[in-house]
Amino acid sequence: MPTIPTTVSKKAPTLVAARTTLPPKGAALALGRPGGGGFVYLASQSPRRRQLLEQLGVRHELLLPDADEDAEGLEVVKRGEAPAAYVRRVTQLKLDAALVRLKRRGLPVAPILCSDTTVALGRVIYGKPADAADARRMLSELSGTTHRVLTAVAVGTPRRRVHALSTSRVTFAPMSRQQIAAYVDGGEPMGKAGAYAVQGRAAAYISHIAGSYSGIMGLPMFETAELLRAYGFKI
């Protein structure tokens, strides 16, 4: 199937401070001054988030879960939970776990960046598919619809945290069962919210995007830069 032209329109982001007082600028500069040793911990296994953070020019170190941590358990959806509430809650849980990890390992204190992405059709949340059959089900339900992609971002230290939410809308053209099966057989949907990667082969079926392309990938650049500036990073 030929690639369908994609149009992108921007919308104002939602930026929320977890506390009413952001880090004092004078104190934060020591953390984020370019060339001064400032860096951020990235508590994510996603290569896409690493790529996007590198695009911002921010030095970072990975702070990944230990083998005995139940990282997937943090992403369990509560009954009746709204998509926005879900993705915010999971991101805060990831940050909580990362802060405990930092202390346990005795690492130098620096801001920790966490993020979570989910796909929603109405109030139905589409996380990562459990298997190929689950991926086919998700894509069949998203085919020919416009759905939301919500990515929450949080940056925090043991003393304070700030967070933001990016919401975008993605329209899929109708996909045949054969097209869905071929896409799933390629393996791309696994490990992706909603069973697709906007930067991959799924782009051939996306007719329209409204919002943040990087947010759909997993780390909204604008919102992330705003949060890091609150900690003194010169972006």
Q: Alpha-carbon distance 155 to 157, whole Å?
A: 7
131 tagged catalytic: no
- Amino acid letter, 135: A
Q: Alpha-carbon distance 55 to 61, whole Å?
A: 15
On whether the CB atoms of residues 139 and 184 are closer than 8 A, the answer is: yes
Q: What is the DSSP string of 203-219?
A: GGGEEEEES-HHHHHT-
Q: Which of 70, 96, 116, 185 is catalytic?
A: 116
CA atoms within 13 A on the CB side of 192: 24
Backbone angles phi, psi at 9, to 5 degrees: -125, 145
* Residue whose token pair is 């086919």: 136
Nearest residue to 39 via CA among 137, 98, 110: 110
On whether the CB atoms of residues 53 and 113 are closer than 8 A, the answer is: yes
Positions marked active-site: 116
